[in-house]
Structure 1
Amino acid sequence: MEVIQTIQDWAWIGWLVLILIFLVIEMLTLDFTFLMMSIGGVAGLASDLLGAPLWLQVVIAGVVAGALIFLLRPPLLRRLRRGEDPTPSNVAALIGLPGRVLSTVSGDAGQVKLSNGDIWTARTEAKGAIEPGTPVRVSRIDGATAFVRPESEETPA
């Protein structure tokens, strides 16, 4: 029983350590999850300072953290991401981009020039080969290879 009493007497140090660990993780992830958990830790610390038993401190910290994660975190994330630019960038911006075949594109090799001016190694997702000059559209990117389909096979969006 003396061990349990010692743990309960020094629980405030554990709460401070947990709060600091959660805040450091939050600074690295920036996702508000560990911020809510650290606020739950503050509630656990407060209940310890008010004399609650250890089991009640853990319950209070868990309930506060859970409530904040489910009730406060979603609106905070929406507000944070409200000003983001929805325009795709990098590889995502290439999907659906039109282009023209420069050298015959088959399932193994080929080259296309996309409408943005980039020249990519390409493979076809269609059967057979696509001849030079044929208009194509990028269906996916795998590494440095654009997988293309002839424009005539595309379904209207």
Structure 2
Amino acid sequence: MIEWIQQNWWVAWLVLSGGLAVSEMLTLDMTLLMLAGGALAGAGAALIFPGLLWVQVLVAVVVAVALLGVLRPEILKRLHKGPGYRSTFDQLLGSTGRAAGEITASGGEANVNGETWSARSWDGEPIASGVEVEVIEVDGLTVVVQPRNKPLST
């Protein structure tokens, strides 16, 4: 068995590549996919240089680093600029939640989409604990909220 593996490293590289590609579905960060590409290049090197494991590893590492450094940033940039992409902060806009305590112009907390966020009142008026609020804007890591039943004033 060991002898067969030593003569057929390309199979191990393909299994590694497939495992990394499938694992990418859990992270969706494009990192494991780039490593899978490196492992696939290692499989190709194993077919060309079957007895030289160091060459296979070198090819796999060089290709993986190149993919991580060149291709991944470009893919992520295009993905994030694509139509319909909304970051987590953009998805908060218009969401509703409840004041976890009193929210004032200077601070407070609100539960929005099952998460507790630092919050402040949009118009500066205090919002009592338990009041249903709507996210008007996101300022850094703070949501700016308004009571849901209160019309916006300019």
The runs of 4+ residues in structure 1 deviating greater than 4 Å are 136-139, 142-150
What residue is the counterpart of 1:107 in the other structure?
Answer: none
CA distance in 2, matches of 1:33, 1:146: 31
Which SS does the other structure have where 1:85 is aligned? coil
Amino acid at match of 2:41: A
Which residue among 27, 38, 41 is the counterpart of 1:40? 38
What residue is the counterpart of 2:86 in the other structure?
Answer: 85
CA distance in 1, matches of 2:47, 2:4: 15
Change (3 A) 1:138 1:35: same
* RMSD (Å) for aligned C-alpha atoms: 3.5
> Do 2:17 and 2:37's aligned partners in 1 also have CA atoms closer than 8 Å?
yes
Question: Is 1:120 equivalent to 2:98 in the alignment?
Answer: yes
> Do 1:121 and 1:144's aligned partners in 2 also have CA atoms closer than 8 Å?
no
Change (3 A) 1:11 1:144: closer
Q: How many residues align?
A: 118
> Do 2:103 and 2:109's aligned partners in 1 also have CA atoms closer than 8 Å?
no
Task: Give 1:71 shift.
Answer: 0.8
CA distance in 2, matches of 1:35, 1:77: 12
Amino acid at match of 1:27: M
Structure 1: give runs of 5+ residues left out of the alignment: 95-115, 127-135
**Larger Cα Rg: Structure 1 or Structure 2?**
1
What residue is the counterpart of 1:132 in the other structure?
Answer: none
Amino acid at match of 1:22: L
CA distance in 2, matches of 1:47, 1:145: 51
Change (3 A) 1:145 1:14: closer
Change (3 A) 1:31 1:137: same
Question: Is 1:20 equivalent to 2:18 in the alignment?
Answer: yes
Change (3 A) 1:46 1:81: same
Alignment of 1:1-157 (within 5 A): 7-51=5-49, 53-83=52-82, 84-85=85-86, 88-89=90-91, 92-93=92-93, 120-124=98-102, 139-142=108-111, 148=120, 151=124
Task: Give 1:12 shift.
Answer: 1.4
Structure 2: give runs of 5+ residues left out of the alignment: 127-138, 140-154
CA distance in 2, matches of 1:151, 1:71: 47
Amino acid at match of 1:67: A
